[in-house]
């Protein structure tokens, strides 16, 4: 955005924000004043105000997957495919993606067309052809064609950011494997069958860009529009970016020329409020519609507040301890097993999460198809943990360090509970609190014996999840786990289309992972949303982000 544009946008937005805020109370009190009051009330009614921990740092998924950024992506961009929506079984007001296996549906998936109207996978599973939707325009007015899809995937190959993982997991080795088959047809041509080819088209990390606009603004200096897409958007989603002032607020405006159903919320204001206690107070006082990422005890307090609702749905989040298999004492599998037996999961979920989490009993999200919790053999048992330590040859007290993230307020109390528990089996933990930036650096360097990690794999698939965290070649394998048999089975499963065969393979993988315990399994935190009671339409996505177009008032 140019400076001039930014200035204009700020002025307009402030005025409208004030109008909207005033309308909340003013329109109710002075509704008899006629049409002006009605108009202001209408404006407030279609404005969604979110108190977020951070505004987007960048808007390019290749380089930024921070909280504010991923919430923006689903509003600014459109995807080739999406999952059907179903009611959430645990939260009556919430919807969620239907990611389960459906033997009765094409390709075993409940998919709906977005930018792709129709799709077909060849019988050998090596080619998928997409018939694209006509008449779709971007936020810059350019018409969507197969050229945009091709440019999007070429960009992943050329920038070598996170998109490289997306190409690798599909088995794409060259940009030529994504072929334009006409103005409104494109195909993906793989060397091996791949069961997640269609799932990847729904992944939040694969938005489709407006190639015309990106080529125009980037020119020859920046052919992949890196500078432009960091601060602005060029996509086919339901919103356009009206303003981004990092550290303060981001404003999104609904597009009148969006191809699908027009969003109810015409304007979305994402305000940065770093302290969760402040977000809590803002929602409690009615100043915002949504307060994101509140602490569990704050959610518990809000449950009894009139006019406020809390949704808590089972999610793809996992929190665990990386037990570094290359650093003593966790190079000994029995020590890893002993730690798992002494993690007080029940206490953690009750005391720290107030029930907004479940025990982690599988090495992948429990909401994903083929997740198998039957191999979990680490119920809290200190006597058994001591036996396991004895089996590991540990005779005296054992000392090690547990590192945790200062930016996540749940990690320190969890660390304290684990420290107290491990002390009882003779393991003395020194707790090391690391600032958020240093924490992630230490996770990726794999230099700590024991460090927390909270993450979620965005594609609901056992092959994607296990490849991401346990394949010895994966950059996210932060526990340095290495088992060639596991590597081989994961890779085989990623080239197998038959779901029953895949289930067998991934059951075997999960059994080995549970037995060899590369992680200290802790919990599956739920995705929680604290909102005004009148706000409807919340939908859970496996990438744990909001999509503003889902919300309305009822």
Partner 1 sequence: MFRKLGLLARLAALRPRFAAGYIIVTAIALLAIAAPWIAPYSPTEADSVSFLQPPSAAHLFGTDNVGMDIFSRAIYAPRIDLTIAILGTLLSALVGGTIGALVGFYSTGRGIRVWLSFAVMRAADVLQAFPVFVFAIALVASLGQSIQTVVLAIAFVNAPIYLRLMRSQVLSIRSMRYVEASQVNGLSDLRTIVRHVVPNAMAPVLAQLSVNVGWGILLTAALSFVGAGVRAPTPEWGSMIAMGFQNVVTGQWWPSMFPGAMLAITVFGFSLVGSSIEVLADPAKRRQLLAEARERSESRRARREAV
H or E element in which residue 70 lies: helix 67-76
Please compute Rg for the chain using Cα positions: 24
Choices 37-45, 237-245, 432-440, 477-485 (CB under 8 A): range interacting with partner 1: 432-440
Closer Cβ to partner 1, 227 or 275, answer by number: 275
User: Is residue 499 within the footprint of partner 1 (CB under 8 A)?
Assistant: no
Segment 295-314, which members bind partner 1 (CB under 8 A)? 295, 297-298, 300-301
User: Is residue 430 within the footprint of partner 1 (CB under 8 A)?
Assistant: yes
Binding mask 362-401 for partner 1 (x = CB under 8 A): ----------------------------------------
Burial class (CB in 10 A: 0-12, 13-18, 19+), 140: middle
Segment 226-285, which members bind partner 1 (CB under 8 A)? 275-277, 280-281
Minimum distance from CB of 347 to partner 1 (Å)? 4
- Judged by CB under 8 A, the residue of 334, 432, 504, 516 near partner 1 is 432
Go through 240-254 and write b for each residue having 16 or more CB atoms within 10 A of its CB, e for each that does not. bbbbbeeeebbbbbb
User: Is residue 347 within the footprint of partner 1 (CB under 8 A)?
Assistant: yes
Return all residues near 191 (Cβ < 8 A) that are at least 6 apart.
126, 171, 173
Closer Cβ to partner 1, 7 or 350, answer by number: 350
Minimum distance from CB of 296 to partner 1 (Å)? 10
H or E element in which residue 524 lies: strand 519-525
Strand partners, 97: 85
Minimum distance from CB of 43 to partner 1 (Å)? 30
Minimum distance from CB of 273 to partner 1 (Å)? 13
User: Is residue 420 within the footprint of partner 1 (CB under 8 A)?
Assistant: yes
How far apart CA 535 and CA 554 sit, in angstroms, is 7
Residues 403 and 430: beta-carbon distance below 8 Å: no
Cβ-based neighbour number of residue 11 at 10 Å = 11
Strand partners, 95: 87, 539
Minimum distance from CB of 306 to partner 1 (Å)? 16
Query: Angle formed by the axes of helices 499-516 and 484-493, to 10°?
Result: 160
How far apart CA 504 and CA 326 sit, in angstroms, is 29
Strand stretches in 255-298, DSSP E: 267-272, 290-291
Q: Strand 290-291 and strand 47-52: pairing?
A: parallel
Closer Cβ to partner 1, 11 or 413, answer by number: 413
Closer Cβ to partner 1, 355 or 409, answer by number: 409
Closer Cβ to partner 1, 531 or 547, answer by number: 531
Minimum distance from CB of 344 to partner 1 (Å)? 7
Q: How far is CA 179 from CA 130, 361, 495, in A?
A: 11, 42, 21
Binding mask 435-474 for partner 1 (x = CB under 8 A): x---------------------------------------
Closer Cβ to partner 1, 36 or 436, answer by number: 436
Q: How far is CA 185 from CA 83, 132, 178, 192, 233, in A?
A: 21, 6, 11, 21, 24
Closer Cβ to partner 1, 192 or 399, answer by number: 399
Residues 88 and 312: beta-carbon distance below 8 Å: no
Minimum distance from CB of 335 to partner 1 (Å)? 22
User: Is residue 350 within the footprint of partner 1 (CB under 8 A)?
Assistant: yes
Q: Kindly state the number of chain residues that form the binding site for partner 1, as judged by CB under 8 A.
A: 31
DSSP state of 421: H
Residues 50 and 289: beta-carbon distance below 8 Å: yes
Closer Cβ to partner 1, 329 or 344, answer by number: 344
H or E element in which residue 216 lies: helix 211-218
Residues 239 and 78: beta-carbon distance below 8 Å: no
- Judged by CB under 8 A, the residue of 417, 495, 497, 503 near partner 1 is 417
Closer Cβ to partner 1, 98 or 432, answer by number: 432
Minimum distance from CB of 121 to partner 1 (Å)? 50
How far apart CA 304 and CA 317 sit, in angstroms, is 26
Choices 67-75, 102-110, 219-227, 426-434 (CB under 8 A): range interacting with partner 1: 426-434
The residue ranges that bind partner 1 (CB under 8 A) are 275-277, 280-281, 295, 297-298, 300-301, 344, 347-348, 350-352, 406, 409, 412-413, 415-417, 419-420, 423, 430-433, 435
């Amino acid at each position: 955005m140019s400076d001039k544009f930014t200035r204009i946008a700020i002025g307009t937005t402030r005025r409208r924000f004030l109008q909207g805020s005033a309308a909340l109370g003013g329109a109710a009190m002075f509704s008899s004043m006629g049409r002006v009051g009605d108009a202001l009330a209408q404006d407030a009614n279609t404005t969604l105000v979110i108190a977020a921990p951070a505004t987007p740092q960048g808007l390019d998924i290749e380089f930024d997957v921070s909280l504010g950024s991923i919430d923006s992506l689903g509003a600014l961009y459109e995807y080739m495919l999406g999952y059907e929506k179903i009611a959430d079984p645990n939260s009556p007001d919430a919807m969620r993606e239907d990611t389960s296996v459906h033997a009765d549906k094409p390709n075993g998936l409940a998919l709906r067309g977005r930018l792709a109207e129709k799709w077909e996978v060849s019988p050998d599973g090596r080619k998928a052809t997409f018939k694209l939707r006509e008449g779709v325009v971007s936020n810059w007015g350019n018409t969507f064609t197969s050229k945009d899809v091709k440019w999007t995937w070429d960009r992943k190959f050329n920038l070598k950011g996170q998109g490289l993982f997306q190409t690798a997991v599909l088995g794409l080795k060259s940009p030529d494997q994504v072929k334009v088959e006409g103005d409104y047809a494109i195909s993906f041509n793989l060397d091996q069958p791949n069961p997640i080819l269609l799932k990847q088209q729904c992944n939040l990390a694969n938005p489709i860009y407006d190639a015309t606009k990106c080529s125009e603004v980037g020119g020859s200096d920046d052919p992949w529009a890196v500078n432009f897409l960091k601060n602005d958007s060029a996509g086919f989603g339901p919103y356009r970016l009206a303003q981004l002032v990092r550290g303060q607020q981001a404003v999104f405006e609904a597009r009148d020329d969006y191809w699908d159903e027009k969003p109810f919320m015409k304007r979305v204001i994402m305000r940065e409020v770093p302290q969760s206690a402040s977000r809590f107070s803002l929602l409690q006082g009615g100043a915002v519609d949504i307060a994101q990422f509140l602490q569990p005890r704050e959610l518990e307090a809000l449950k009894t507040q009139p006019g406020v609702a809390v949704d808590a749905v089972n999610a793809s989040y996992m929190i665990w301890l990386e037990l570094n298999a290359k650093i003593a004492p966790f190079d000994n599998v029995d020590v890893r097993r002993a730690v798992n037996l002494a993690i007080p999961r029940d206490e953690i979920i009750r005391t720290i999460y107030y029930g907004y989490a479940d025990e982690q009993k599988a090495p992948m999200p429990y909401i994903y198809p083929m997740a198998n919790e039957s191999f979990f053999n680490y119920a809290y048992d200190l006597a058994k943990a001591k036996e396991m330590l004895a089996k590991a040859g540990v005779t005296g007290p054992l000392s090690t360090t547990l590192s945790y993230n200062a930016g996540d307020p749940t990690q320190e109390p969890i660390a304290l509970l684990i420290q107290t528990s491990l002390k009882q089996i003779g393991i003395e933990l020194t707790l090391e609190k690391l600032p958020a930036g240093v924490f992630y650096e230490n996770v990726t360097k794999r230099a700590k014996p024991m460090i927390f990690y909270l993450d979620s794999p965005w594609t609901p698939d056992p092959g994607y999840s296990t490849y991401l965290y346990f394949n010895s070649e994966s950059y996210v394998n932060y526990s340095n786990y290495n088992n060639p048999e596991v590597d081989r089975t994961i890779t085989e499963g990623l080239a197998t289309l038959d779901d029953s065969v895949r289930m067998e393979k991934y059951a075997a993988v999960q059994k080995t992972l549970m037995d060899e315990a590369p992680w200290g399994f802790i919990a599956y935190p739920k995705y929680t949303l604290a909102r005004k009671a009148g706000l409807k339409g919340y939908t859970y996505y496996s990438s744990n982000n909001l999509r503003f177009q889902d919300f309305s008032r009822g």
